[in-house]
Structure 1
Amino acid sequence: MSDRDRLPFRRLRLPRLEVTLQDRLTRVRRSWRMLLRIALSTGAAFAIATYVLGHSQAFFAPIAAVITLMGGAGRRQRVVFELVLGVAFGVLVGEMLILAIGRGAWQMALVASLTAVVAMLFNLRGMALTQAINSGVLLAAIVPLAGAANPAVSRFIDALIGGLCGFAMLLVLPRNTRRDIDEGLQELLAGLTGVLERIAAAMRSQDAQLADAALAEARDAQPVIESLHATAANVSEIVRLAPLRWKERADVERYAGSVNDLDNALRDARVLARRVASMLRHGERAPDGLARSVETLVEAVRIYADEYASSVDLERANERLVEASDLAMHAMAERLTVNTASIAAQVRSLAADLLMAGGVPRTALDDLLDVD
């Protein structure tokens, strides 16, 4: 694999300490949808609350819109629900306390703590608990303008308006789902290819340090996996809800469904690197069949990385994975030790996870991978 192909994975290990102006401008340019969503949702939420409903302190409407837009990946429907529930609960408890004890420093402390206690007693968690406390605090801190509407009711309505405006912008201006998840998959597959290449090279050269380096690279890929899981949850939500992305639903669901299997494959690669390093440190020579099985895995992952969406290419990759498993299983007959048996089993496990990532059902794995 060329240095250019390995660049995304190397960036995990050797992050640049300096971010250039061009990097920042590129990040801004690629975030144009998010910036437009923020602008439109906050402006619309404030305008509706202020000019349509006549709320004089409609600050929470745009805040609620931003909270919804920035909610956790794949859970924005729940964010809207928790936001409104938490605000309503905090408003209720806070308003009752303020009517009884008034406003001030000690009243602020009491409102915040008691709102939290009551919310937890009612089993509010996460966003709902946070917004309940925030609502009580803001009610205690801000004195309503003379002649203004009931602040409790206004704040609840503002939260609902802001949440709905933020959610609407996610549907009207959805992210580029296929591009986003494809970029994450390509980065992960490039990393996995690099790890397997190092493992194969370590087996050919009998270099335990090279196997240790492969293990370190595989461990450094964890942030890529975590980011890919978040992206998969996010784009799955978008294609389910946004009409503009419905036509991409089948591809995105297939991509997202492969993330757990690719995660398992990378974990297998870590175990494989560890077993190879152990074998080489003990002076055992890797059978040729085992080295060729790992090299065949590299070829299969490269095919995935070239064009993951092509059913033809996936079929070719699956054939190479079956071949890799067969090579590993037959290599044990050449030299059977605890280490070679463990490595062969790990190659088979890695091939199985990649086959499932390519769409092969679990029930078909034994028939494909059983050795004749």
Structure 2
Amino acid sequence: MARSQPVAVVRRWLAETWPLAQAAAAATVAWVIALRLAGHADPFFAPIAAVVALNFAQGERGRSAVRLVLGTCVGIVVGELTLVLLAGGWGSLALATFVALVVAQALGANRLMRVQAAAGAILAVAVADGEAGTARLTDALIGAGVALVFTQVLFSPEPVALVRRAETAALGGMADILRMAAETVEHGTQAEAQREGLTRRMHGAREQLDEVGRAGPASARIASHSLIWRHERPTAARMNEEAGRIELLGVSCLMLIRTLVSTDPPRHSRLAHEVRELADALTDLATGLGDLHGRQRAVDRAFAVARRAAGEHAWPQMTLEAVAASVRFVCFDIMMFAGVAPQDAKAAVEQGAGEPRATAPPRDLHLLSLPRRLLDEHRHRP
């Protein structure tokens, strides 16, 4: 345990540093291309455009690169036209900045794109010494091109893995919070400090769910736009739907925790046991997202909890009935996330009946394993 924590810190540091290394490499490549191939004497716009385009999270860099470079191009064009008409000076700088912001806003740009347009105009006028030229626009396009090669070809993130990482973190975090909640209610009013820690963890879980919400659409965009991951478009579409289900599951878990810590002490041991079972179901999902058997284990655990919660006299008190409703919501969302048919999940939760079955997860088609998977499919084809 003592050794695993430093390893986790190193891995997190490497994960955070790797995009920075990519940005530095892209800036260097863009500068060399503009200097050596394009023959520009001072190609500062090329590395700036490359770094700005890569300064976003994985899955969002391609689209953001296009938007921000568009803003840069608007600013440069406005700045160059201002130099042609008015030459340099503070008046030209003010006018170019204002016009660039107006044009970017007219194009429907967001705040970052408007700022980039203004920055492009300012740099075009401030460093031009009153001389107009097309070199700066060419440099910006070179930087944008290098950034797109980095994001869409060389270092394009694998869509399924992008969502899987976010889902694993969110499910594991929710499982830990449920276990903490079970321990909190068992200690009763003597665990005030633990309740505060639970509140902080709930805020962290909300951030993890937001990350899942961003990763789902990002994976679909990567599969649609990246040259090397276009074959994963159907899988990415399913992953996007799955990410939406995990958000609902997270909301149900947070509602259960909020209701649980507000209940009266009677039957807390019973509630703690059920909550731990749900935490184990989430752990099964987190460790077996790409495994049908892991999903089925989670479904079986949730079904067992739902069947007990659906008992006629299981929750006689009003506060416990509220907890029971929250428990059923979590059970239902676990089953839905694992691919159980909606009508089967509803029957299992409301009546404790049926035999809910998970469905196979979206296929994780890595390029290296694709030939082997195609061979396996050919062998099993009638």
Would the TM-score normalized by the shorter structure come out above 0.5? yes
User: Which residue is equivalent to 2:99?
Assistant: 114
Aligned residues: 348
Distance in 1 between the 2:322 and 2:198 partners?
Answer: 17
**Change beyond 3 A, Cα 1:199–1:123:** closer
Does structure 1 residue 191 correspond to structure 2 residue 173? yes
Deviation at 1:164, TM superposition (A): 1.6
Deviation at 1:343, TM superposition (A): 0.9
Does structure 1 residue 345 correspond to structure 2 residue 330? no
Distance in 2 between the 1:66 and 1:247 partners?
Answer: 29
Q: Deviations over 1:325-350 (max 9, x none)?
A: 222222x6234233122111111111
Q: Which deviates further from its counterpart, 240-249 or 297-306? A: 240-249
Deviation at 1:312, TM superposition (A): 0.9
Q: Which deviates further from its counterpart, 232-241 or 189-198? A: 232-241
Does structure 1 residue 141 correspond to structure 2 residue 122? no
Letter of the 1:123 counterpart: G
Return 5+ residue gaps in structure 2 as ranges: 353-382
Does structure 1 residue 367 correspond to structure 2 residue 347? yes
Letter of the 2:307 counterpart: D
Deviation at 1:236, TM superposition (A): 4.8
Q: Does the CA contact (< 8 Å) of 1:289 and 1:327 recur in 2?
A: no
Q: Which of residues 242, 253, 261 is equivalent to 1:269?
A: 253
Map residues 1-372 of structure 1 onto 2, 5 A cutoff. Answer: 29-30=14-15, 33-34=18-19, 37-143=22-128, 151=133, 153-170=134-151, 171-175=153-157, 181-204=163-186, 206-207=188-189, 209=191, 213-242=197-226, 257-280=241-264, 285-286=266-267, 290-330=271-311, 333-362=313-342, 364-372=344-352
**Change beyond 3 A, Cα 1:124–1:263:** closer
SS at match of 2:263: helix
SS at match of 1:360: coil
TM-score, normalization by structure 2: 0.76
Deviation at 1:166, TM superposition (A): 0.9
SS at match of 1:221: helix
Distance in 1 between the 2:326 and 2:302 partners?
Answer: 13
Q: Does the CA contact (< 8 Å) of 1:287 and 1:334 recur in 2?
A: no
Distance in 2 between the 1:108 and 1:145 partners?
Answer: 11
Deviation at 1:38, TM superposition (A): 2.9
Q: Does the CA contact (< 8 Å) of 2:220 and 2:236 recur in 1?
A: yes
Q: Which deviates further from its counterpart, 193-202 or 337-346? A: 193-202
TM-score, normalization by structure 1: 0.77
Distance in 2 between the 1:142 and 1:269 partners?
Answer: 56
Distance in 2 between the 1:348 and 1:271 partners?
Answer: 11
User: Which residue is equivalent to 2:372?
Assistant: none
Q: Deviations over 1:230-283 (max 9, x none)?
A: 455555544555455567777766555433333333332222222222222xxx
**Change beyond 3 A, Cα 1:55–1:125:** same
Higher RCO, Cα 8 Å, sep 6+: 1
Q: Which deviates further from its counterpart, 258-267 or 346-355? A: 258-267
Q: Does the CA contact (< 8 Å) of 2:75 and 2:116 recur in 1?
A: yes
**Change beyond 3 A, Cα 1:365–1:46:** same
Deviation at 1:314, TM superposition (A): 0.8
